[in-house]
Structure 1
Amino acid sequence: MERIRLGIVGMGNMGCGHADYLTKGAVKGVELTAVADQSREKLNQAVSRFGEHLKTFTDTEDMYRSGTVDGVLICTPHYDHPPEAIKALKYGLHVLIEKPAGVYTKQVREMNEAAAASGKVFGIMYNQRSNPLYAKLRELIVSGELGEVRRTNWIITNWYRSQSYYDSGGWRGTWAGEGGGVLINQDPHQLDLWQWTTGLKPKRMRAFCSFGKYRNIEVENDVTAYVEYENGATGVFVTSTFESPGTNRFEVSGERGKIVVEDGKLTFWRLRQPETEFNAMYQGGFGQPECWKIDIPVKQEEGQHRAITQDWADAILHGKPLLAPGEEGIHGLMLSNAMLLSTWINDWVDFPIDEDLFYEKLQERIRESTFRKPQTEGITLDVSGTH
């Protein structure tokens, strides 16, 4: 295969965003050949904006079986990511899905199993993995420069959303429409990076979520979670959508100091002597290891969505390992599922979580939801692109 004929499923904001850079030739080896959406109006707009050569489909399976695409980029609402991916894989297509992987891990696990059985390249749009700040953070931790991680602390509260934002669509802020709030809508990248950069495996979690706090919505918009890891480290994750001004600060403490990502900078407070070694030798009262504050140079590169699409294409065309394998989408989602489940049962949650119990609790809230999804395939709302 010399080039990939790509189809986009869901022509909302995110789908159109991908189509824009693809039709400008920003991804080598990929040609946008088809688009699918239930809305004929959106399809007509796509043809007018991105080229009359595009094949259009109101039914996704018609596109999957048409022979006009080799792979698809799925930009549908959250609930539809797994079923659409599974269908595309069954038709022998390579798949790249927008984040999140889905709404609940039980559904995502089925998608992962289908991907593993297909032999096709399956990726997820975790574009923040291409961010040089987080790539460098991961490098410093994986290389051992920070030593064993002992604590993580991420405060991500700069997701301010007004009531008018939630009122702009009947599906917003509802269990049936979105499947959750700040955790499933705004935070998937941070939840992925939290575990991807540190490499830590969670053991158990206790979380406290507030639903509709200061806003007239059904879902969580204020979360504080505490996690214990297998290596004895601990972590805290705090997020909300009503604070102004908000904060975005990720701090990782290890045996050799701490690293902070904030305001587009990476700062390393590096100990000249590992804390464990210092503690074993020091005989004074209030001493500490000598510490250097280092501003880590980070090469600023334009990556984001285009970079992940190029990475996925290179995996198909040249066999390169994926930066963001689709199967890894379940890890960040399990963190958010655990936070909700811990709140709903008012107790600790062990990992891996009880997926059947989470699904049961989620269905209870969907039945009580004010939003009623149309009885159609449901690919008109591009939720993943309107955060």
Structure 2
Amino acid sequence: MEKVRIGIIGMGNMGKGHTDYFSKNEVRGAELTAVVDTDPARLEWVRSNHGNMNIQLFDNLDAFFASKAFDAVLVATPHYDHPASAIQAFNHGYHVLVEKPAGVYTKQVREMNEAAAKSGKIFGIMYNQRTNPLYQKLRDLITSGELGEVRRTNWIITNWYRSQSYYDSGGWRATWAGEGGGVLINQDPHQLDLWQWTVDMMPTRVRAFCGFGKYRNIEVEDDVTAYVEYANGATGLFVTTTGEAPGTNRFEVSGDRGKIVIEDDKLTFWRLRVSEKDFNRDYKGGFGSPECWKCDVPVVGAPGPQHKGIMQNFVDHILKGTPLLAPGEEGIKGLTLSNAMHLSSWTDNWVDLPINEDLYYEKLQERIKNSTYQKETKELQMDVKGTH
């Protein structure tokens, strides 16, 4: 194979964005050859704006999959439909790259992961923040042992301000039936992924406090404070909201060898000359602390190639065997964190990981049943609204 032919499912904001960079030939070794959407206006947009690309247009999935006009599928449908679309693609023998989030609840995402494994096809997820050199450097400093054993993680990500008019722009917005969650499922999937990816470990249990419609007239969570514990004794805190201005984006990781902070697109390492454990063992002077150097770590290229970078990596993996930066199977990790936070708030209790997937599904269905937005059909709806 010299080129990977790509087919896109869904021509909403995300689908259109991907189409634009394909039209500029910005992904080496790939070409967009087909799209599918049930909305005629969106197919007309492709025809009018990219008619010179010879893209095959489809208005139903059966014809799309049967065409064999592509080698790999990019799933850019609404949240609930990500796993179903991916599973269909695997069953038809296609490689799959799915937009974030992997899905709404881990039970359906686990089924998607199993279908991927059974198919033997390549599976990736559009975790474009993994291309950001800031987070790549943080992961390197932690996994290499430079920071020592992780003791605490703290992420305050409150610069997601959304007004009531934003939520009022679509009846599906911020509803259990339409989106399956609020700030955790809509704005924060990248941060929840990076939280576990950079420190290379998942918590063992979670205690969260979610405010549902705390600042806005919505069904779902718009304010979250979550506390987590890790197997090695470390603890973590994740704070997020769409109702705070001005917001903050500060990720801090403390370890045995110091502290690293990412804020304002900079990475700062407060590096201890000796580990805290060694200092505490040997120091006999009473008051005192380890010698610490403030290091402004040079990071070149932020924010990185983002969506194009993940697509390029996906294509390179198919053509050359380049390691996947964002394997699709890992999408369940960040989603597990958001599901655990929801479940902890719904039950007013601790949630152990892995979570009780059946209980989460049951609680979610209760909220969908009473949601102000009800889907008109259980069939695949490719009416992507660009919900980020």
Name the structure 2 match of 1:315: 317
- Per-residue deviation, 1:82: 0.1
1:261-293 CA distance string (max 9 Å, x none): 000000000000100000001111220000000
Q: Say whether the 8 Å CA contact 2:173–2:179 is kept in structure 1.
A: yes
CA separation in 1, counterparts of 2:288 and 2:153?
A: 24
| Partner amino acid, structure 1, of 2:300 | K
Name the structure 1 match of 2:290: 289
Gaps (5+ residues) in structure 2?
none
| Partner amino acid, structure 2, of 1:170 | G
CA separation in 2, counterparts of 1:377 and 1:14?
A: 21
- Per-residue deviation, 1:321: 1.4
- Per-residue deviation, 1:67: 1.3
Name the structure 2 match of 1:91: 92
| Partner amino acid, structure 1, of 2:318 | I
| Partner amino acid, structure 1, of 2:376 | P
Aligned to 1:202, the other structure's residue is in SS state coil
Name the structure 1 match of 2:103: 102
Runs of 4+ in 1 over 2 A off after TM superposition: 376-381
CA separation in 1, counterparts of 2:375 and 2:283?
A: 64
Aligned to 1:244, the other structure's residue is in SS state coil
Counterparts of 1:154-193 in structure 2, within 5 Å, are 154-193=155-194
Name the structure 1 match of 2:254: 253
Q: Say whether the 8 Å CA contact 2:336–2:355 is kept in structure 1.
A: yes
Q: Say whether the 8 Å CA contact 2:250–2:263 is kept in structure 1.
A: yes
CA separation in 1, counterparts of 2:259 and 2:83?
A: 38
| Partner amino acid, structure 2, of 1:325 | P
Residues 1:274 and 2:275 are matched in the alignment: yes
- Per-residue deviation, 1:224: 0.3
| Partner amino acid, structure 1, of 2:323 | P
Q: Say whether the 8 Å CA contact 1:13–1:382 is kept in structure 2.
A: yes
Gaps (5+ residues) in structure 1?
none
Q: Say whether the 8 Å CA contact 1:174–1:370 is kept in structure 2.
A: yes
Aligned to 2:271, the other structure's residue is in SS state strand
- Per-residue deviation, 1:319: 1.4
Q: Number of residue pairs matched?
A: 386
CA separation in 2, counterparts of 1:310 and 1:18?
A: 12
- Per-residue deviation, 1:376: 6.0
Name the structure 1 match of 2:39: 39
Q: Say whether the 8 Å CA contact 2:39–2:383 is kept in structure 1.
A: no
Aligned to 2:204, the other structure's residue is in SS state strand
1:324-373 CA distance string (max 9 Å, x none): 00000000000000000000000000010000000000000000000011
Name the structure 1 match of 2:8: 8
In angstroms, what is the RMSD of aligned CA positions?
Answer: 0.9
- Per-residue deviation, 1:381: 2.6
Name the structure 2 match of 1:20: 20
- Per-residue deviation, 1:386: 3.0
Q: Say whether the 8 Å CA contact 1:63–1:69 is kept in structure 2.
A: no
CA separation in 2, counterparts of 1:165 and 1:182?
A: 13
Name the structure 1 match of 2:364: 362
Name the structure 2 match of 1:30: 30
CA separation in 2, counterparts of 1:313 and 1:64?
A: 20
- Per-residue deviation, 1:378: 4.0
| Partner amino acid, structure 1, of 2:216 | R
CA separation in 2, counterparts of 1:153 and 1:40?
A: 46
| Partner amino acid, structure 2, of 1:87 | Q
Q: Say whether the 8 Å CA contact 1:38–1:378 is kept in structure 2.
A: no
Q: Say whether the 8 Å CA contact 1:312–1:322 is kept in structure 2.
A: yes
CA separation in 1, counterparts of 2:51 and 2:147?
A: 50
CA separation in 2, counterparts of 1:77 and 1:49?
A: 23
| Partner amino acid, structure 2, of 1:92 | G
- Per-residue deviation, 1:201: 2.5
CA separation in 1, counterparts of 2:373 and 2:4?
A: 38
Identity, % of aligned positions: 69
CA separation in 2, counterparts of 1:226 and 1:118?
A: 37
Q: Say whether the 8 Å CA contact 1:61–1:87 is kept in structure 2.
A: no
Alignment TM-score, normalising by the size of structure 1: 0.98
CA separation in 1, counterparts of 2:179 and 2:75?
A: 16
Name the structure 2 match of 1:216: 217
Name the structure 1 match of 2:68: 67
CA separation in 2, counterparts of 1:366 and 1:37?
A: 25
